[in-house]
Amino acid sequence: MSTNFTHLSVSELHALMAEKQQVIVDIRDETSFSQGHIKGAIHLTNDSLADFVREADMDNNVIVCCYHGNSSQQAAQFLVTQDFTQVYSLDGGFTQWQLQYPTEIAQ
């Protein structure tokens, strides 16, 4: 069992999205999330965290996205402690995703 999350670049996430089942969770504030997020991302907040942990498939790839890839590291490590087996922190966060894949943003 992994005890740590894995770093993932936006390019790696883009490739992963075409191949595998994954869940992308966005931990940014509500306004930022509503103004744009990675297509298919779930907005994860303190209020929705307990439901997410209870209902999610623990063996699914979980990619945590924040603004720049800093806060997502703590959130990813927390999910590892909740027994998720494949957890990733998106390096560069939504800011980097928006730069590399501006057409793949949902609102």
Encode pLDDT of 59-89 as tens digits: 999 999 999 999 999 999 999 999 999 999 9
- Check residue 45 and give its pLDDT: 96
What's the total number of domains in the chain?
A: 1
Q: Which residues of the chain have pLDDT under 70?
A: 1-2
Quote the pLDDT of residue 1. Answer: 47
Tell whether 107 is covered by a domain: no
Q: How far apart are the C-alpha atoms of 62 and 85, rounded to whole Å? A: 9
Domain that holds residue 72: 6-102
Considering 66, 79, 80, 87, which one is annotated as catalytic? 66
Is 65 annotated as catalytic?
no
Number of H helices, E strands in the chain: 5, 7
CATH number for position 66? 3.40.250.10
In a domain, 1, yes or no: no
Closest to 79 in 3D by CA, of 103, 58, 96, 101: 58
Please indicate, yes or no, if residue 75 is contained in any of the structural domains. Answer: yes
> Hey, what are 79's tokens?
């999910």
Q: Give pairs for 16-21: CB < 8 Å, separation 24+.
A: 16/61, 16/63, 20/61, 21/60, 21/61
Evaluate whether residue 35 is within a structural domain.
yes
Helix (H, G, I), strand (E, B) or coil at 86: strand
The secondary element (H helix, E strand) that includes residue 31 is: helix 30-35
